[in-house]
Amino acid sequence: MALSRLSLTHLRNIDNADLSLGEGINLFYGANGSGKTSLLEAVHMLATGRSFRSRQHRAVIQEGAEALTVFGRLDGGDSLGVERLRSGGGRIRINRAPAESSSRLASCLPLQVINSDSFSALDGGPGVRRRLLDWTVFHVEHGYAQEWKNYQIALRQRNALLRRGKISAEQMDIWEQRLAQSGNRMDELRRAVFGELQAITSAFIRELPDSPLTRVELSYRRGWRRELDLHRALAESREGDLAQGHTRSGPHRADLRFTVAGEAAQHILSRGQQKMLVCALRTAMAELVRQHNQKPVFLVDDLPAELDKDNQTRFAQWVSRCASQVLVTGIDREATSRPWLTLPSPWNCPTVFHVEHGRICAEPESAP
């Protein structure tokens, strides 16, 4: 799915904007602080209900305004709308009808973000990598979201019992059975998707000639001891969990590992090589979702600030194979468009917008 129209009001320094987006590349250029990242943030709000920069909706709502709104029309005709209020709460609408959760938005508009924060995937905590795997499983396996919710409910209940200290073995057993049931299913789905993701990521990496990235190995840790069934693992760790006050085994502890000759990849690869590895992984995630019939939209914030020219070009080639549309930002128009210009149509003719003090203007010669 691609966005054909994007309208927003009162989001950071953007008072209002109403844009017709083009297929392929949409390029937003302008000076520091002009509002380029805020525009990408608006699309992220539309696809997830929240910002990628701040957990607080208040920070994103324009100073002096009571609410922000973002509206988008997809190329298939569907419409999405998100409103966030300074007083808290807000509304999500899909085709003008209220939607019960933001995960409905995500299934309408799968989104990949490449910005400076994306590169914490290697040296950040396991939660960052788990979320990448879960994004992929969510878009590929439609029963996954429910399984994940069931698991979270059972996990909260077991943790509450553990914190209470005095536990009834009978009650504990009920929640452990539920945890094991959903947890085993989540692991099965994650494992299957990870296998495909690993193969696609490796295929992308093999396109980088003579790069140490070709020696990177990816592996999946499910979050509990390999030789044990989850139900058994929970029963065995009950005493220790009670002492710690939380559940230490299960898919909520899963992780992805990146290694080179047995060493953690972030200790071996250069910063730029690590960024390319993350780009390969994120494009592989999008490619897998594309193979399941939904092409994601990419938001790419200031690529020239992150990668050298050859890597920018390679990344642009990867993205063009699996994305429905890309919104890229940069300070300089020429430098930002350069990696995309060698690609076939429609990728080589960006729709260009100039961003200045929160105003976004389509450049006349490139208007769709």
Ligand X SMILES: Nc1ncnc2c1ncn2[C@@H]1O[C@H](COP(=O)(O)OP(=O)(O)OP(=O)(O)O)[C@@H](O)[C@H]1O
Q: Which residues bind ligand X (CB under 6 A)?
A: 12-13, 30, 32-38, 59, 61-63, 331
CB nearer to ligand X: pick between 269 and 352: 352
DSSP-assigned states of every residue in 81-104: EEEEETTS-EEEEETTEE-S-HHH
Please tell me the distance from the alpha carbon of residue 234 to that of residue 230, in angstroms, as a whole number: 6
- Residue 27 near residue 330, CB atoms below 8 Å: yes
Ordered DSSP codes for 257-307: EEEETTEEGGGTS-HHHHHHHHHHHHHHHHHHHHHTT-PPEEEEE-GGGTS
Q: How far is the CB of 135 from ligand X (least distance, A)?
A: 24
Q: How far apart are CA 193 and CA 135, in angstroms?
A: 11
In the complex, least distance from residue 342 CB atom to ligand X, rounded to whole angstroms: 25
CB of 229 to ligand X, least distance (A): 48
- DSSP for residue 61: B
- Rank residues 232 and 359 by Cβ distance to ligand X and give the closer one: 359
Q: Please tell me whether 30 is known to bind a ligand.
A: yes
In the complex with ligand X, the residue whose CB is nearer, 296 or 358, is 358
Closest CA to 133 of 229, 257, 50: 257
Q: Is 270 annotated as contributing to ligand binding?
A: no
Instruction: Give min distance, CB of 7 to ligand X, in A.
Output: 17
Q: Is 36 annotated as a binding residue?
A: yes
Q: Which residue number, 68 or 121, has a Cβ lying nearer to ligand X?
A: 68
Distance of alpha carbon 148 from alpha carbon 127, whole angstroms: 14
- Tell me how far, at minimum, the Cβ of 35 lies from ligand X, in Å: 5
Is residue 35 a known part of a binding site? yes
> Would you state the structure tokens that stand for residue 199, as one six-digit string?
């193969």
- DSSP, collapsed to helix, strand or coil, labels residue 30 as coil
Return the number of the residue (63 or 123) whose C-beta is nearest ligand X. 63
Cβ closest to ligand X, residue 61 vs residue 327: 61
CB of 58 to ligand X, least distance (A): 8
| Phi, psi at 296, each rounded to 5° | -75, 160
Closest CA relative to residue 277, chosen from 216, 197, 339: 216
95 assigned to a ligand binding site: no
**Residue whose token pair is 């914030």:** 301
Q: Which residues participate in the annotated binding site?
A: 30-37
Q: Which residues participate in the annotated binding site for ATP?
A: 30-37
